[in-house]
Amino acid sequence: MVTPESLRDTATGVKVGVLTSGGDAQGMNAAVRAVVRTCLFAGAQPYAIMEGYQGLTVGGAGIRPFAWDDASGILNRGGTVIGTFRSRDFQTREGMLKAACNLVTQGIDRLVVIGGDGSLTGLDEFASHWGSLLDDLVAQGRITDDQRQAHPRLIHAGLVGSIDNDLVGTSLTVGVDSALHRIQEAIDAIASTAASHQRCFVVEVMGRNCGYLALSTAVSGGCDYVLLPELPPEDGWEQAMCDQLRRSRLAGRKDSIVILAEGATTRAGEPISAEHVRSTIETELGEETRVTILGHVQRGGTPSAYDRWSATWLGYEAATYVLSATGEEPGPVFGFHGEQVIQVPLVRAVADTRSVPQLIKAGKYDQAMALRGEEFADLARIFQELSDPVRTQANPADLRIGIIHVGALAPGMNTAAKTAVWLGISRGFTMVGIRDGFLGLAAGDMTELTWKAVDGWNQEGGAVLGTRRHVPKVEELYAISRSLESAGIQALVVIGGWNAYAGVQLLNDERSRYPGLQIPIVCVPAGIDNNLPGTSMSIGADAALNVVVDCIDKVKMSASATQRCFVIETMGRDCGYLALMGGLAGGAEQVYLHETGITLQGLQSDFDWLRSSIDTHGRSFFLAVRNVRAKANYTTKVLAHMLDEEGRGRYDTRTLTIGHIQQGGAPTPADRLLATRLTDAAMTQLASQLSTGDRAVHCVGWYDNEIRLTDITEAMKSTDRKRQRPNDQWWLGLKGILDCVNREVV
């Protein structure tokens, strides 16, 4: 594996340019920072190209060397600190000649571009013409032949910074998650005022040719109707929309929200305006209807935790690529496939992305949807079912499915429960809510859940049904079995954390002795520690991580007027996910994890580095993030005392234990979407098992960009049960990236 350390012999003196182009997207600054600092760590010299491709053509101060501190303090800033510009000059032959001349004159022949498909297309064209451009420059006397020979190729890589999430072949582009945060905040606020007045709202969101923002918002916000570019509505859609809104009101909803993607059209290609939707609803339903066009607020504001750590990872990978590549292979675009960074051929990615609008125009909607990926298709299918309160399937046997929360609280538990209820009712089941975990189940504390009863749960924090950490003992299984039998529950959805999985494993192990336990069960992972088997992400972990990063931002602000060290303690028990990802996204210089431990030798190295950084580089702030169980004897207070002692008056040291606020608050859009997809898979599995008589017990998870079901016993075999975490944790490898981009070599 290529690392910055392994490149130091060959990268020293190499010059790399980085630019942002096209529309801005939250997280661009994190990517720029990562490119700059990875280059510096490897011994190369990064150059920031100001104002996008326009800076390339203008040259001079538009191409400037960047030092470590030039990329400081930008992780939490929206927009792009090096500017962006939709340059027309660069699109001409003369503009590209100027750009090539400016780069070669500076000795730069490696370039990382962060932008949309237009920006990446420009990069590919520039690179493909590099040789002929330099030949013309030599012929014109603008560069020498020696300069031409020294830079035979433009080695390049692209990152997609676009809130539209329209790059075919990748999961999420830089800026999408933050945009969803902005939209979701607005939708949640609108829902409360709409319910107060029993009013309808039409909300227009961005997404020219891609409806990802609109569709994701419709699902996570619990909205009633959505209009997407990829699925133009059939003729008479206005009546169908109003009929659906009417059914929701009759089912008990007090508010109605229609989401409109700005690029939505009819099948004839006519744009659908928010005003047309508004007037249609008012005319047909006689309801007061308002329009909210969110506009560029979706691009602005502080980037989410995801857009910080993911953009950092992408920037790191792009920088190591251009420092190690020969230029003989086509330049790639770096993006995510699930929880892994992948390289997509730039030319193919852009061509596939640009083919989607053409497929839509040609009426090939299935092909357009297929290019958008499995998640998009899943969300479209699930939304269609969630948005209609009418039962679509008969259930003459009155099959009953129970829903129970077990373990520590996690934001998104309510979203999962509501999804289970609405999908269950749609599919003909009677849904039964079990209060207060296994204790409530043993006591028979349960109630039938209706469509109206759970309306609005998707945006609520906490767990309306209640949750307990209690894992049943063998002697409690008889009461649990009898309770399930008495209530006529034939299947069970268990939403929760490690204790949920341990309890279900016990039920599975002992089921031969108790008839009531011989039912299909599916565990849905919900826990902020992100330590559950069979999944790379758990519901609630993203919300908790955003709390950690928000606290780090505020701590940094509080320390800006003095020299100070902070040690921040996160939750997570023996799993360091929140500590590491929070440190990476928040810019911490060090993280202390249970997985990697703490040693006196390592601490001494940290103290020596800190003193040197303060004395020789003028450092005024140091941040360490400690997982609550990183090491029993090296507590947060002990680390703070040691920092104080070793600092010898150079700085003050403070501590912050974030505590249970990491479990509180509303679930993020990512947690809501994950909860929806995982619960859909769980309900589909239970329906299949009930129809065939299969009584197996599974857990559902998201792994490698797929929803997977795993036998509970097999899943638990892949874990360290004593430490309550998976044996293989994909995020642990990011510790090396944190050391590279957050900790300056002194």
Closest C-alpha to 571, from 525, 622, 531, 524: 531
Burial 364-391, CB ≥16 within 10 A → b, else e: eeeebbebbbebbebbbebbeebbbbee
User: 632: which 2 tokens?
Assistant: 């029993």
Of the residues 109, 136, 164, 680, which is catalytic?
164
CA–CA distances in Å: residue 698 to residues 132, 689, 707, 716: 60, 11, 13, 11
Listing from the earlier edge strand, what are the strands of the sheet with 289-293?
225-227, 256-261, 200-205, 289-293
Strand ranges, E, within 370-515: 400-406, 430-434, 446-449, 489-496
Only one residue has tokens 């090539």, namely 100
Specify which residues 570 forms β-bridges with: 627
DSSP for residue 526: B
Q: How many CB atoms lie within 10 A of CB 625?
A: 31
Write the DSSP assignment of 136-194 as a string of letters: HHHHTTSS-HHHHHH----EEEEEEB-TT---TT-S--BTHHHHHHHHHHHHHHHHHHH
Partners of residue 49 on adjacent β-strands: 63
Q: State how far Cα 437 lies from the chain centre.
A: 29
Residues 6+ positions from 353 with CB-CB distance below 8 Å: 117, 166, 167, 168
Copy the structure tokens of residue 157.
């890589």
Cβ–Cβ < 8 Å for 542, 410? no
DSSP 263-289: T-B-TTSPBPPHHHHHHHHHHHH---E
Closest CA to 368 of 100, 597, 168: 168
The one-letter amino acid code at 374 reads E
164 in catalytic set:
yes
Query: Strand 430-434 and strand 400-406: pairing?
Result: parallel
Q: Which two tokens stand for residue 507?
A: 């039920």
Cα dihedral 307/312/313/319 (nearest 10): 140
Residue type, 633: N
Strand partners, 46: 16
Residue with the two structure tokens 């999985």: 501
Q: State the greatest distance between any 2 C-alpha atoms of the chain, in Å, as a whole number.
A: 91
The C-alpha atoms of residue 304 and residue 177 are separated, in whole angstroms, by 7
For residue 498, the SS3 value is helix
SS (H, E, C) 156-172: EEEEEECCCCCCCCCCC
Query: Is there a contact between 684 and 491 (Cβ–Cβ < 8 Å)?
Result: no
Tell me the C-alpha distance between 699 and 534, whole Å.
Answer: 7
Residues in a beta bridge with 55: none
Catalogue the active-site residues: 164
